[in-house]
C-alpha cells in the first residue's frame, strides 16, 4: 500500500486521453463528454498522484465499469 494516501480521481471514457507532464500536471480529454467530467458517465476512474520528491507518478484503476451500449 502506498504511504501517500492523497490521490486525484480522474474519470475517463473510452477514447479519452490522459496526459501527464513531468511536473505532475494533468490534462484530460474526453471527447464524448460535454460539460464537467462526471464519475457516473465514466467508463473507468483512475486514481493519480505525483510525488515531486522522487519524481514518481502513480496511477491506479479504481472503478472499472461494465461495458454498456451507448446511444448513437
Over residues 8-62, the pLDDT tens digits come to 888 888 788 888 988 888 888 866 655 555 666 678 888 999 888 888 988 888 8
* Residue 34 in grid coordinates: 460535454
Q: Are 7 and 40 in contact (CB under 8 A)?
A: no
Cα 57 from Cα 20, distance rounded (Å)? 9
Q: What value, to the nearest 5°, has the Cα angle with vertex 51 and ends 45 and 54?
A: 135
Taking the model in full, what pTM does it have? 0.64
* Comparison of pLDDT for 44 and 67, the residue scoring more: 44
* pLDDT at residue 66, rounded to an integer: 64
* pLDDT at residue 1, rounded to an integer: 44
Question: Residue 70 gets which letter from DSSP?
Answer: P
Amino acid at each position: 500500500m502506498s504511504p501517500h494516501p492523497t490521490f486525484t480521481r480522474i474519470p475517463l471514457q473510452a477514447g479519452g486521453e490522459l496526459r501527464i507532464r513531468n511536473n505532475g500536471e494533468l490534462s484530460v480529454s474526453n471527447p464524448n463528454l460535454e460539460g464537467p467530467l462526471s464519475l457516473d458517465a465514466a467508463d473507468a476512474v483512475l486514481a493519480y498522484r505525483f510525488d515531486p520528491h522522487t519524481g514518481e507518478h502513480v496511477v491506479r484503476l479504481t472503478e472499472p465499469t461494465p461495458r454498456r451500449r451507448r446511444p448513437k
